Amino acid sequence: MMMSIGNEPIKLLANALDRASTPCFTVGIATPLAGYIYNVGGLRASLTALQLSIGLFTWIGAALALHFGARRALKGLVS
């Protein structure tokens, strides 16, 4: 019984990290990519493909770091 109580903070941390990775993807990747593709607000004129690529890779890196951090946290679970 005590082991499962000790696991709860680890589960909460993993959930928080994984939930944080979702907005990183949405705000940092999906939204700018859609804006660039559909040229929302003339985005293509003000943002080069190189700038977009750097931003996308930075945000995907942040999202993946958070996601894999959550997976790593789960390795600390006691069975």
What burial class does residue 14 get, using C-beta atoms within 10 Å of its C-beta: 0-12 exposed, 13-18 middle, 19+ buried?
buried
Q: What is the pLDDT of residue 38?
A: 97
Could you tell me where the DSSP H helices lie in 1-79? 2-25, 31-37, 43-46, 49-74
Angle at 57 between CA 42 and CA 10, to 5 degrees: 125
Read off the pTM: 0.85
Q: What is the pLDDT of residue 5?
A: 84
SS3 category, 22: helix
Angle at 11 between CA 9 and CA 12, to 5 degrees: 65
Q: What is the pLDDT of residue 74?
A: 94
Tens-level pLDDT at each residue, the chain (79 residues): 556 788 999 999 999 999 999 999 999 999 999 999 999 999 999 999 999 999 999 999 999 999 999 999 999 888 7
